[in-house]
Structure 1
Amino acid sequence: MILTVTPNPALDLTWHVDRLLPGETHRVDAGATRAGGKGLNVARVLHAQGHDVIALATSGGGVGAEFAAELVASGIPHRLVPVAAPTRRSIAIVDEAAGETSVLNEHGDAISPDELAALMANVVELAHDADAVAICGSLPPGFGPDQLGELVCILTVAGTPVIVDTSGPAMLAAARAGAIAVKPNAEELLAATGAADTAAGIAALLELGAGIVVASLGAEGLVVATADASDIRARLPRALHGNATGAGDAAVAAIAAAVAETPGLTANTPDGESARIRLARRATAWSASAVLMPLAGELSPEHDGLEREVVVSPASEPKESA
């Protein structure tokens, strides 16, 4: 089973417009409303692909009630931790003509110490039966990098591998606590590490203690890196246009599936390298196929074909053994 954790979920509201004109009024078809947040999107992808998954999140207020009802209707196994603050909202406007998406994310209100303790207790409980735990998205006020690092450490010491997709100091804390995988995008990588380039940023996260770094680089594909083996670059030979809001989450779903299925994913062995190449292909294809779908948390039926198109190559010279 794969457990996804969304500490700062959102009710996702999505509208599609023929062409987005700033300052103008637009007539649109009815928008879509879904329980969202990065971990929920990851869970949707895994569930649709036949993986055993449980989605854990918080829920509060009137928006939280709508969030919970949609999650029940989705059929995704889940557990919600009640909180006093209302669940935040995220608004996506998809410009069909430009193939671009504008997103407005509410910050989300603070979580109380008791609510945080309840959330962490639920994570630890559910993780007993998990092959991997994916902690995804922003952290609400009251749930800081130190608390995230503590949670990652608890799970890792218990033998449960943890994947983390967040940003800033929280990403550094996750790496330092021994997360088996972290997934920054290029902007998050450089902002968190202060590195001059992608390679240096990846190296910084590996030096802190991350087992594997999967850095998504937009149209340039992604890089899969470990401390001891050669980095792997994967990309599609053509650009795809659409709604990119769930692309990174689809990549995290591929990472979580690979971690759950392949205990030796980070090993500097032929089997480990083969597993990382498969991960690079699948994460690239799933990420790209998500762009083709109108809503985050979905893969295009074309994802198998896209996986066959992915070009894989070394991203760097072989690393010297320590």
Structure 2
Amino acid sequence: MAEVVTVTLNAALDITYEVEALVPNATHRVAAVHHRAGGKGVNVARVLATLGVEVVATGLAGGGAGAEITADLATAGVPARFAPVAGNSRRTVTVVADGDATIFNEPGPAVTPAEWRDFRVLFLELCRDARVVVLSGSLPPGVAPGAYAELVTGARALGARVLLDADGEALGLGVAAGPDIVKPNAAELERAAGRGPAREVASRLLAAGAGAVVVSRGADGLLAVTPHGDWSARPARRLPGNPTGAGDAAAAALARALLAPEPIDWPAVLADAVALSAAAVLSPVAGTVDLAAYRALSQEM
């Protein structure tokens, strides 16, 4: 039994290159290379496992890359049950330089209707024992934009609380199904609900069905907009490193908060999420947090 189920419908084999500087149209000497299972939900699962939360990662995976994804998670001690697809799972390439990241995302394998039906069966099986479900990341080709709405409805019908971290039409349709928390970044928020002050735009997602909206704002931290009030938290200082997994670390903190009895203590939860996401920036690859740094940063909030 896992307390949290994380869903990565477009799982990836992540390749991270560390270079001194990224220069267009130039040859680069790579200082370090990292290969590991990735995708937003996988990163959330890694962080939760590091924090001692009982978690299982699920989603869709196939081909040689899919085999590497499941093998890497097994080696890392992260429980996983992925539904197979015939196509080869995607790869993502992240180039880290000068404290920032440039990312290249492949689209992922085409998913057939039969493969999607098989995944839904597995998903509902896992949800029967889960208290929290995290749905995050892009949809692979062949999966309809309403997929997250369908999964939110299924998880909530089984008594699980749901965090949704998506983009575009998938986010808009998913919000209407009533997830407990929606966690867009600033750009995703604008694409889902239009332009304007962040609090005003987030309120539109509340009106559309979200229980709460937590907006990732990079170095400016997190903003929570709820029916009971608004709160924000930001890191005490800017940290150099790889920001790729910061949002996923924040999602892990929010998922852990959903395990606690209601109501959520938003100031404390946001401070914890900011510290955890900052600790993720200090790690070279997404899905990893420096626990010593996390404890130290928590004292600064």
1:187 matched to 2:178? The reply is: no
Indicate yes or no: 2:286 matched with 1:296: yes
AA aligned to 1:179 is P
- Aligned to 1:192, what secondary structure does the other structure show? helix
2:78 is aligned with 1:76: yes
Q: Distance in 1 between matches of 2:269 and 2:208?
A: 22
Tell me the equivalent position of 1:32. 34
| Secondary structure of 2:60 counterpart | strand
Is the Cα–Cα contact under 8 Å of residues 190 and 197 in structure 1 kept in the other structure? no
In structure 1, the partner of 2:50 is: 48
Write out per-residue CA displacement over residues 209-250 of structure 1, whole angstroms, 9 at most, x where no aligned residue: 1111110111111111212x1200101131112101000000
Q: Which one of the candidate residues 65, 73, 86 is aligned to 1:63?
A: 65
Matches within 5 A, 1:95-110: 95=97, 98-110=98-110
Structure 2 gap ranges (5+):
none
SS of residue matched to 1:5: strand
How many pairs align? 298
5 Å matches for 1:147-166?
147-166=147-166
Q: Is residue 2:228 matched to residue 1:210?
A: no
| Cα offsets for 1:24-43 (capped at 9, x unmatched) | 21222451110100000000
Distance 2:201 2:141 in 1: 26
Residue 316 of structure 1: aligned partner: none
Q: Measure, in 1, the Cα distance between the counterparts of 2:190 and 2:22.
A: 30
CA distance in 2, matches of 1:174, 1:276: 23
Q: Secondary structure at the match of 1:261?
A: coil
Contact (CA 8 Å) 2:57, 2:81: kept in 1 or not? yes
User: Do the aligned residues in 1 keep the contact of 2:195 with 2:201 (CA within 8 Å)?
Assistant: yes
Question: More deviation in 141-150 or 37-46?
Answer: 141-150
Are 1:136 and 1:166, in contact at CA under 8 Å, matched by a contact in 2? yes
Query: Within 2, Cα distance between the matches of 1:178 and 1:100?
Result: 34
Which aligned segments of 4 or more residues in structure 1 are displaced greater than 6 angstroms? none
Contact 2:222 2:274 in 1 (8 A): yes
Q: Which residue of 2 aligns with 1:268?
A: none
2:249 alignment partner AA: A
Of residues 253-262 and 17-26 in structure 1, the stretch that sits farther from structure 2 once superposed is 17-26
Residue in 1 that maps onto 2:297: 306
In structure 2, what is the Cα distance between the partners aligned to 1:159 and 1:145?
Answer: 24
Deviation track 1:33-60 (CA, whole Å, cap 9, x = no partner) reads 1010000000000001111000112211
User: Gaps (5+ residues) in structure 1?
Assistant: 266-274, 311-322
Residue 14 of structure 2 corresponds to: 12
Asked if the contact 1:43–1:54 (Cα under 8 Å) also holds between the matched residues in 2, the reply is yes
Verify the 8 A CA contact 1:100 1:242 in the aligned structure 2. Answer: yes
Conserved 8 A contact 2:20-2:31: no
